Structures are given as C-alpha cells and as structure tokens.
A and B are shown apart, each in its own frame.
Chain A
Amino acid sequence: MISARNISKVFNAGRPNEFTALHGVSLDVQLHETTVLKGPSGSGKTTLLSLIGCMARPTTGRIFLNEREITSLPERFLTEVRRSTFGFIFQQFNLIKGISALENVMAPAYPTGEKFSLLRRRAMETLEMFDLGKRADARIEWLSGGEAQRVAIARALIHNPAIIIADEPTTHLDTRLSHEFMDIMGDLKARGTTIILASHDPLVYGSDLVDRVVEMRDGQVVDGESAL
C-alpha cells in the first residue's frame, strides 16, 4: 500500500512567486488496484504523482511505500526505489530521439550494469509483447504515434515495476489509441500491476478497469470514493 500522510508541496518557497500546489493531502492507494486522479487543470495531479513516484520530495508530510518511509531517503536510495518500483509513462512519451526503440527501452537499466545480452533479450521480449519486434531498430522519430506510445510503455515495464504511473496518457492520442492504451493497462492490471493514472479524460476515469477515482481540486483531495 502507498500511503501519503498530510503532504504539502510548496514551489518557490520564500519567493514572491511562492505557490502551494498541494495542501495537506492524505491518500491511500491499494496495491493491485487501478487508481485515477481526476480534477481540473492546476489541481495538483501531476505534483501528487511525482511525489508518489519518488521524483520529488514533499515540503511537509510523509509518504510510505509498504510501510517503508520514502520521504527522507537520500537521493541515491530514492533513485533506487524509483527504478525498482515504478514505471513511468509521460504525457509526451518523453522518448529519447536519435536512438532506436530498443535502446530507449534498455536505457533505464543501463546504470544497473545488467549483462548486455540479458538486458537486450528482456527489452526485445517487452517490445515483442507490444508487436514492436520488427520496429526495434527503428529510430524514435520514425515511429507512428501509436508505436511511440507502446515503446514508452515498454520502457516503463523494463524493470518489471510493481507500480505504473501515467500522467495524462491519452491527451495526445485519438480515441482508437486511447482505447488501445486502456486495453494494455487492463492486461497489466490482470498481471497484478498497480496502476496510478492522472487524467480528466472520461475515457480513462470512466473505464471498467478503474477501481477508484480520486477527485482533486486546488491542491486538495475532495472525493476519494471508490468507483464501485
């Protein structure tokens, strides 16, 4: 279980443009469930996701991952937790241009020093899961939008993460690709992966696989009711 206890995030603290993006948010996310953060633009969804995903630290409050406090870990351990626990899918995919799809999928694992042949095989298998085996050597720029999206998902899966975090994954996708994305998420969920999404796309938060919708407004959780 992921528990956020009374977390706040203040940007540019002490400066005239100081901004509090989260106000004492508390939230529990059950493992193996699919949770959607929903809310208007600027309500703090991305901020909350990045705190849960160990990308940044809250200004106050604490976050626990399976009872383990992660807020006060030094950077190296935080990176380690992020790498081993989370897989991220970004709004703009954030793939690295100029290198092949396969290398993009392998890149997160480079610092671990995993044996090349092994890593390559795993990356290849992950790509093949998404029918991308043939496009493995293609550069990112040459891929279609749907292919790029699947490469981004494959990259998030390279470490077999227990938790997938996706921020507005469908914003730049048409309806067909959005459905495809949710289908893939469904497969992952079926395999026991915890999924946390941020979205104001009804196609996402209205989907069958969503267990819980957390409604946010002005940096606070207004409604954390279960969708069922």
Chain B
Amino acid sequence: MTRMIERQRHIMDFTLAALLRRKGKNGALLSVYTLLVFILASILFFTHALKHEAALVLNEAPEIIVQRTMTGRYQTIPVAWSDRIRQINGVISVHPRLWGYKYDKDFLANYTMMVPAGNPPEPGSIDIGSGISRMRGANRGDIIAFAGHDGQPRSFTIRNIFDSESQLVTSDLILLSEKDYRDFSGIPEDQSTDLALQVRNPREYATIAEKISRMYPDSRPIVRTEIQRTYDALFGWRSGLMIVIFAAVALAFVIFAWDKATGLSAEEQKEIGILKAVGWETSDIMLMKFWEGSIISLTAFLLGTILAYAHVFFTSAALFAPVIKGWSTLYPTFRLTPFIDFGQVATLFFLTVVPYTVTTIIPSWRAATIDPDTVMR
C-alpha cells in the first residue's frame, strides 16, 4: 500500500520536474486553460444565479398581463375592458396598470415610469430607483424635472429612493401618482397601459388567456409562467454571444488537443525510451502521462473555478459588466446571491479534466509501448 502511494508520488515528482522543465510552454498552457475555465465558469455561475434569482423574484409577478395591439403595435387598453374580463370564470381581480418609458436626453438614459398599485406617491412627488439616484446624484427631497408629452417640464420632489438591495428589479423605476402620470404622459382617463389579472387557480391560466383572446381578438395575454420561462432562457445556448464564446472555447480546446494528439516531440519520445530502458514499464509511462494531463487540467479547473466565483459573486461579474451593459447607461450594480448548481460544477469538472487528461494519455500510448532497445542506437 505505502509502496503504491510512494510509486505514485515518485512518478508525480518526475512528471512535475518534466513539466517545470518546459516552464514557458506549460505555464502558457496552464494560463490559457485556466482562463478558459474561468470564462466558462463565470458564465455558468452568473447565468445560473441570475436565472435562479429571476425565478424566485418573478414568482410574484402578475399572473396574467393583458396588452392590446393595433396595427401590430402596442396601444393603450380601454379601462372598460377590465369589467368584461373580470366576468370570466376564475378571474379574481383585474387591475389596470399605468406605465411607460421616459428617455432622458441629458443622461442618455431610459427610465421606466410607473403608477404603483399600492402606496403611490402623492401628486407632485416621486419614488425613484437607486440607479437613477446614483446616476443623477439625486437624493430624497431633491426636485427633478422632466418634460412631459406636451414638452412642458414638470417638477417632482423625490419622496423615496428604493433600497439598493432590490436594484435588479427597481433600478430604473420612477413611481408617481396616477394623476401625475396621466398628465405627464397624456394617457386619457379611460385608457391604461395594460391590465394585470389575479387568477384563482394557476391551472386555469391557459383557458382564461384563451377566453380573453376570443373576447378581444386584438388583445395579447401574457401568462406568468411565460414570464418566468423567459428568464430561464436568458443567456441560453442559442443566444449570439454565448455561441461566440463557446465556439472560441471549443476551438481553443481543439487546438490544445491537436497539439497533444499530433504526437510527442522527438525529445519526449527519446525520454520515454530511456525510461523504459532503465526499468519503467508501459504502465509507468502511462501513469506519468496521466499525471501530466491531470496536474494541468485539475489545477486549471480549481484555479479557474475559484477565480470565477470571486469574479461573479465578489466583484459582481465586473468583467462581464461592459458586455451586459451594452448601451444602457443605467445598469444595476447588483450583488448576486450565490446560487450554485453543484451539478453544473461537477459537469464543468468532468468536461475540463477528463478530456484533457485523455488527450494527453492517448498519443503517448504508442510511444510507451516501443521496445526499450531503440535507445541503444
């Protein structure tokens, strides 16, 4: 037993010495591999945590939203529709929502203006998201003015600023009273942006949505499960950037594998011959190659994963921010809660360590089985 362990350690010693001998090449290999794992793991951590968070938070989103389209574009919806919809069996309540966007030329930012269902600010005052507060340096009690639909500026006093912990959903919000919003946006009294429904039983979503569509053919019901699934599919494998990144990762890996598979250098082959001549068996050579592959890939996996965790959950995915921010000037600086899919980490482990180790071992198979007498010539 101790002999077996000692044999492993001896061969590990030798392998490490061999790796250190080509410090530059193997260092570069390890760095690139670590970087690949880091990128992959960062993406996995980030998207999983975000999706999980979305699923949890949006669990409380309105059960059915009814919108209206005209000539293929969104229209305000007559408030009167809510009365007929409320008649549908299974609908508990219908609430007209008032909301929309406001582009702020001075800050090149888009805001979401909204009349909250409960506890709206009194006319003349607003609640704002912490993103807006941070961007404009606006604090409670400050006065902000926006130009309304008629071009006339209207000023509001900031009543409240949202806690930054809810940034992921409230960062760009401006809440105001219904009276102010109708005046500001020009939505007539008998219209609203859309309708939010409460339903008795989730199993009735589909039937109710269908009934609404039949009742108002130009309406468009969106069910909560669809909202949630939207965020499940967020950053999916099909989305553009992911394809590019994974293509790059795959390509880099193929290059590695190619480099390995095209065989050992003459020097390495000679070395294997020497080792066999002085008393190593084929299995000892294979063991050495196994360690060579697993030392590099295991270290890359561990380093890459640890760095990715720190990156995503301690620095809020700082490196991804420029990509995800895109053109938006208002970007939440949220701290993600570290929801980890351990299965994902295990998959990452198997995908990084196993193929690499195998590609290291396989090409050495032939060299390992050569007759040791070749070194005599």
Q: Do chains A and B touch in the complex (CB under 8 A)?
A: yes
* A residues apposed to B, CB below 8 Å: 46, 49-50, 55-56, 75-76, 79, 82-83, 88, 90-91, 94-99, 103, 106-116, 119, 155, 159, 167
A-B CB contact pairs (8 Å), 26 listed: A46-B377, A55-B277, A55-B371, A55-B372, A56-B373, A79-B281, A82-B372, A88-B278, A90-B376, A94-B274, A95-B274, A96-B274, A96-B275, A103-B14, A103-B17, A107-B14, A110-B11, A110-B14, A111-B10, A112-B7, A113-B3, A113-B5, A113-B6, A113-B7, A114-B3, A167-B376
A110 with B280: in contact, given A98-B17, A116-B6 (CB under 8 Å)? yes
Which residues of chain B in 323-377 are interfacial with respect to chain A, using CB atoms and an 8 Å cutoff? 371-373, 375-377
* B residues apposed to A, CB below 8 Å: 2-7, 9-11, 13-14, 17-18, 20-21, 267, 270-271, 274-282, 284, 371-373, 375-377
> With a CB–CB cut-off of 8 A, which chain B residues contact A96?
271, 274-275
> With a CB–CB cut-off of 8 A, which chain A residues contact B284?
110-111
- Cα-based distance from A111 to B14 in the complex (angstroms): 11
> With a CB–CB cut-off of 8 A, which chain A residues contact B2?
113, 115
A107 with B278: in contact, given A99-B17, A116-B10 (CB under 8 Å)? yes
CB distance from B276 to the nearest CB of A (A): 8
- What number of A-B contacts does a CB cutoff of 8 Å give? 95
- Cα-based distance from A176 to B309 in the complex (angstroms): 64
Residue of B nearest to A76 (CB): B281
Q: What 5 pairs between A and B have smallest CB-CB spacing?
A: A98-B21, A83-B279, A113-B7, A113-B3, A110-B10
- Cα-based distance from A96 to B377 in the complex (angstroms): 16
> With a CB–CB cut-off of 8 A, which chain B residues contact A110?
7, 10-11, 13-14, 280, 284
- Cα-based distance from A196 to B6 in the complex (angstroms): 33
CB distance from B176 to the nearest CB of A (A): 73
- Cα-based distance from A56 to B375 in the complex (angstroms): 11
A82 with B279: in contact, given A96-B271, A111-B11 (CB under 8 Å)? yes
CB distance from A63 to the nearest CB of B (A): 14
Structural contact, B280 and A111, CB atoms closer than 8 A? yes
- Cα-based distance from A110 to B4 in the complex (angstroms): 11
Structural contact, B279 and A79, CB atoms closer than 8 A? yes
Structural contact, B277 and A88, CB atoms closer than 8 A? yes
> With a CB–CB cut-off of 8 A, which chain A residues contact B270?
94
- Cα-based distance from A116 to B10 in the complex (angstroms): 8
> With a CB–CB cut-off of 8 A, which chain B residues contact A50?
373, 376
Structural contact, B280 and A75, CB atoms closer than 8 A? no
Residue of A nearest to B23 (CB): A98
Q: A56-B371, A82-B372, A113-B5 are in contact. List 18 more A-B contacts (CB 8 A).
A: A55-B371, A55-B373, A75-B282, A82-B279, A83-B279, A90-B375, A96-B271, A99-B21, A108-B280, A110-B10, A110-B14, A111-B10, A112-B3, A113-B2, A114-B3, A114-B10, A159-B279, A167-B376
- Cα-based distance from A114 to B377 in the complex (angstroms): 30
CB distance from B142 to the nearest CB of A (A): 69
> With a CB–CB cut-off of 8 A, which chain B residues contact A119?
10
CB distance from B42 to the nearest CB of A (A): 35
- Cα-based distance from A106 to B284 in the complex (angstroms): 15
- Cα-based distance from A50 to B270 in the complex (angstroms): 17
> With a CB–CB cut-off of 8 A, which chain A residues contact B376?
46, 49-50, 55, 90-91, 167
Residue of A nearest to B267 (CB): A97
- Cα-based distance from A139 to B375 in the complex (angstroms): 21
> With a CB–CB cut-off of 8 A, which chain A residues contact B18?
98-99
CB distance from A53 to the nearest CB of B (A): 8
CB distance from A155 to the nearest CB of B (A): 7
CB distance from A56 to the nearest CB of B (A): 4
A113 with B10: in contact, given A46-B377, A94-B274 (CB under 8 Å)? yes
> With a CB–CB cut-off of 8 A, which chain A residues contact B7?
110-113
- Cα-based distance from A103 to B20 in the complex (angstroms): 14
CB distance from B330 to the nearest CB of A (A): 56
Structural contact, A108 and B17, CB atoms closer than 8 A? no
CB distance from A50 to the nearest CB of B (A): 4
Structural contact, B377 and A155, CB atoms closer than 8 A? no
CB distance from B269 to the nearest CB of A (A): 13
- Cα-based distance from A172 to B370 in the complex (angstroms): 26
